[in-house]
Amino acid sequence: MLMRVYQQEYLPWTEGSGVVVAIHGQNENPFADVFGYFAPPGTAASLGVRFVQTSRLPKPYGECTLTQSGQAYYYNGTYLVEGCFRSCIQDKIIATCGCYDPAYAPPDDASIVSCSSYDIPTINTKIDCVNKLLNGDPSAGNSSNTAFNVINECVCPQPCEESAYSVTVSTALWPSDVYKPPECNDAELAAKYWPDGNCLDWYKDNTLLVEVYYERMNYQLLSESPAYTVVNMVSDVGGQLGLWIGASLISVIEFVTLLVLLCCYCATRVKANDFDDDEPKKQQPADVSDSDSDDDDVKRPNTATTSVAGSSLDGIYKHDTGTESVIPPKIKD
């Protein structure tokens, strides 16, 4: 595009001439004073544009914000860090000076007036208040220590999703000394802008050519990803266990199965012991009678021996109770 600046219409205190070109998204505030590119007159500026999409991780991996931060935001469009900083500065000016600075977006509260809406003495007071807040108080010695620190006092995190344009700028002198623009042949324009007839010099002082194009028909995606996730931790722990103690998922299952079997065995053994302890008590009367008969058998030979010495074999089969037993036949010599 061909652009004219008309330096003869500039105010006397204007220091530079040219235009500022800002490349931004449709829903973004341009902030040309920060993100713009300067193109002076008498040049042809070529701006190569490339779309860049940035995706950041929220907490606990990063400090980006998915929506607008807690700081008040007075600019239209999507959230930008620059807009957050300027809104924070505006809040500080309102809190300190009691008015808002027209250099920044006005607040939502309509009851707050502009610092330039007072009479002359009050305007000077308000302007001094704003200057001391932003630039520091010169009477305090080191003015930088008294100035408002935007980085430390404003909470403006990066957006988690951000769209931007990477711009490459190149310039060349324009027009050349041998080129004659078509407007130089227009008598009406010549009488108004270059009455001396030097059209080419007027072009070099008031005209510039700007060309904006896509460097490549693609875009760049910058995406953050977790460096170490829970899945990676579990995988590393399993690998270390398998390396040093030979443990694996099957080993863990077998170990759990062994514990279950041991518990079942211990429970069964305790029940068997309780059954064995109760059994002798039930059989104790029969055992006592048997032991008594055994004692009689042991004592019987002594009684028989005594009976043989006294009389005959009939006393061998005599019991203490007086009962007689069947006598076997005598053995012949």
The secondary structure of the chain, three-state, reads CEEECCHHHCCCCCCCCCEEECCCCCCCCCCHHHHCEEECCCEEEEEEEEEEEEECCCCCCCCCECCCCCCCCCCCCCCCHHHHHHHHHHHHHHHHHCCECCCCCCCCCCCCCECCCCCHHHHHHHHHHHHHHHHCCHHHCCHHHHCCCHHHHCCCCCECEEEEEEEEEEEEECCCCCCCCHHHHCHHHHHHHCCCCCHHHHHHHHEEEEEEEEEEEEEEEEECCCCCCHHHHHHHHHHHHHHHCCCCHHHHHHHHHHHHHHHHHHHHHHHHHHHHHHHHHHHHHHHHHHHHHHHHHHHHHHHHHHHHHHCCHHHHHECCCCCECCCCCCCCC
The reported pLDDT for the residue numbered 85 is 94
Domain match, 124 and 250 both? no
* pLDDT over threshold 90, residue 260: yes
Domain match, 176 and 72 both? yes
* pLDDT over threshold 80, residue 315: no
Lowest mean pLDDT among 51-60, 138-147, 279-288: 279-288
Among residues 223, 253, 280, which one ends one of the domains? Answer: 223
Residue 307: which pLDDT band, with cuts at 50, 70 and 90? very low
Domain match, 59 and 100 both? yes
The reported pLDDT for the residue numbered 263 is 93
CATH number at residue 116: 1.10.287.820
Give the chain's mean pLDDT: 81
Domain match, 184 and 240 both? no
Model-level pTM?
A: 0.66
Which is more confidently placed, 162 or 321?
Answer: 162
Domain match, 185 and 243 both? no
Task: Supply the range of the domain harboring residue 112.
Answer: 2-223
Domain match, 123 and 201 both? yes
Q: Is residue 332 part of a domain?
A: no
Domain match, 157 and 240 both? no
Q: Is residue 312 part of a domain?
A: yes
Q: Is residue 331 part of a domain?
A: no
The reported pLDDT for the residue numbered 137 is 77
Q: Is residue 325 part of a domain?
A: no
Tens of pLDDT along 81-118? 999 999 999 999 999 998 899 999 999 888 888 888 76
Which is more confidently placed, 294 or 211?
Answer: 211
Domain match, 176 and 257 both? no
